[in-house]
Structure 1
Amino acid sequence: MKKYKGYLIDLDGTIYMGNNRIPAGERFVHRLQEAHIPYLFLTNNTTKSPRVVQKRLLNEFNIDTPEDTIYTASLATVDYMNDLGLEKTVYIIGEDGLKEAIYEAGYKKDRENPAYVVVALDTDLTYEMLALATFAIQKGAKFIGTNPDLNLPSHRGLLPGAGSLITMLEAATRVKATYIGKPEAIIADKAVEHLGLVKSDLLMVGDNYLTDIKTGLNNDIDSLLVTTGFTKPEEVPHLPLAPTYVVASLDEWEV
């Protein structure tokens, strides 16, 4: 089995499940820390800032990790916007984690003529917000979708995710969004850059074939599917392209 110099790691379904611990996930991170192997938690969740995620990992899941080991789709969105270098005006559909990241990077809210429209999950979404985003995109604003997740798992079932809202605006504007989060190349390339390693030395670890594992498959990064979350063991034989590795528990993986 190949030894990897760094890891990209999903959170929900891999290290924890909702509010529930996955002890094998916690032990996996502790082994990486003990071996001084660099890692980056890579999440499509834009509702929480890295600071909030860091505190949650410590207080609820026994993982003490630096804030800079947490890379969200919000941060990848900011990095992408900075690379484009347009005027720093934006209209955001999204929650505090996304808004904090974008506004802290110096972007200003503009409801009428923003350079960017950024759309993510927003549980306080209104029709007027969709209308403002539609008008701005029609005027030429750069349309960014933070992540393509159509659904969000919850105790109630599968809720509409960011991808559902973005798809609605794509239909209304007839403009295709630029997607940032897993499994897109933008977040993968930025994460690799942040770790300072080459792709061949990295392993993408996650529970969701459609996001985590496809991040690896689509971006020439080896992948490890752990069947503790979204993708179930019975689905594995029928996956269109196999992950590099599959385990039932991260206790099975030697770092």
Structure 2
Amino acid sequence: MKYKGYLIDLDGTIYLGKEPIPAGRRFVEQLQEREIPFRFLTNNTTKSPETVAARLADEFDIHVTADTVYTATLATIDFMKDANKGKKVYIIGEPGLRDPILDAGFEWDETAPDYVVAGLDNEVTYEKFVTATLAIQKGAMFIGTNPDKNIPTERGLLPGAGSIIAFLETSTQQKATYIGKPEAVIMDKAVALLGLNKSEVVMVGDNYLTDIRAGIDNGIDSLLVLSGFTQKSDVPTLPDPPTYIVDSLDEWDFDA
């Protein structure tokens, strides 16, 4: 099927940690040449869309505008605005998560926040977990930016935001409300940003548990590329097959 729009994962699909995936760059260039709209859809909350676009240009020679990047941070902000439960928030996360939330009008509160937002934090401490745990126990809405248990890098699979959120789920005995892939919150908004219907869009990614489930669980076709998290040996045991599977994005036929 010839798709009118593409939702594309980044890490493991377009690049792998600090290593380029040349087929990923060629894939994006094909979309640009054909003037097919796309959004990079990332669960990474450590970087702003502007920073992501700059990194793509500087490190991977991929030239896009910041508005082509929709992060779990932006989806979290949209979700909290829709929830309308207040303006006070405590955040475990890095500046790419904290700053946009505060810039959107939310106020920092460590004692009695309306929301606790947990994402990847390379400087997470036990005391941060304590503050978040107590706030959730007092009734704060518990939001997890994304369920990624690991991050694929050139070093291997590192702990992801899902690992941090799991700590809090254990300490509070509460489940987080998840925002990022594969949840409907981020997928519905991303499709709307393309101005298309779900049937006209394909989700492209390397991680079956997030990228591909995001498609399967939300009625969007999916393209699994075996360049990152999910390995070829995993394919026979996948519970629900992706719409398409390729070893490399160079194999994809835009006109089929």
TM-score, structure 2 normalization: 0.96
C-alpha contact 2:89 2:109 (8 A) present in aligned 1: yes
Uncovered stretches (5+) of structure 2, i.e. residues with no partner = none
* Correspondences of 1:139-218 after superposition (within 5 Å): 139-218=138-217
Q: Which amino acid aligns with 2:167?
A: M
CA distance in 1: counterparts of 2:95 and 2:225, whole angstroms: 30
Does 2:97 correspond to 1:78?
A: no
Closer/same/farther in 2, CA of residues 45 and 13 from structure 1, 3 Å limit:
same
C-alpha contact 2:16 2:154 (8 A) present in aligned 1: no
CA distance in 1: counterparts of 2:169 and 2:217, whole angstroms: 23
RMSD: 1.1
* Correspondences of 1:16-31 after superposition (within 5 Å): 16-31=15-30
CA distance in 2: counterparts of 1:150 and 1:226, whole angstroms: 19
C-alpha contact 1:225 1:245 (8 A) present in aligned 2: yes
The residue number in structure 1 matching 2:127 is 128
CA distance in 2: counterparts of 1:211 and 1:250, whole angstroms: 18
C-alpha contact 2:19 2:154 (8 A) present in aligned 1: no
The residue number in structure 1 matching 2:246 is 247
What do the CA deviations read for 1:143-163 (whole angstroms, capped 9, x no partner)?
000011112233443322211
Secondary structure, aligned partner of 1:112: coil
Secondary structure, aligned partner of 1:117: strand
Closer/same/farther in 2, CA of residues 64 and 154 from structure 1, 3 Å limit:
closer
Secondary structure, aligned partner of 2:175: coil
CA distance in 1: counterparts of 2:167 and 2:21, whole angstroms: 35
Query: How far is the alpha carbon of 1:237 from its aligned partner?
Result: 2.1
C-alpha contact 1:49 1:100 (8 A) present in aligned 2: no
Query: How far is the alpha carbon of 1:20 from its aligned partner?
Result: 1.1
The residue number in structure 1 matching 2:39 is 40
Q: Which amino acid aligns with 1:115?
A: D
C-alpha contact 2:11 2:152 (8 A) present in aligned 1: no
Structure 1 residue runs of 4+, over 3 Å off? 154-157
TM-score, structure 1 normalization: 0.97
Q: Which amino acid aligns with 1:221?
A: I
C-alpha contact 1:120 1:146 (8 A) present in aligned 2: yes
Which moved further from structure 2: 235-244 or 112-121? 235-244
CA distance in 1: counterparts of 2:158 and 2:4, whole angstroms: 36
Query: How far is the alpha carbon of 1:199 from its aligned partner?
Result: 0.4
The residue number in structure 2 matching 1:226 is 225
Secondary structure, aligned partner of 1:71: strand
Query: How far is the alpha carbon of 1:104 from its aligned partner?
Result: 1.4
Secondary structure, aligned partner of 2:36: coil
C-alpha contact 2:13 2:21 (8 A) present in aligned 1: yes
Secondary structure, aligned partner of 2:204: strand
CA distance in 2: counterparts of 1:65 and 1:173, whole angstroms: 41
Query: How far is the alpha carbon of 1:137 from its aligned partner?
Result: 0.7
The residue number in structure 2 matching 1:99 is 98
Q: Which amino acid aligns with 2:140?
A: A
Percent same amino acid among aligned pairs? 63
Secondary structure, aligned partner of 1:153: strand
C-alpha contact 1:208 1:230 (8 A) present in aligned 2: yes
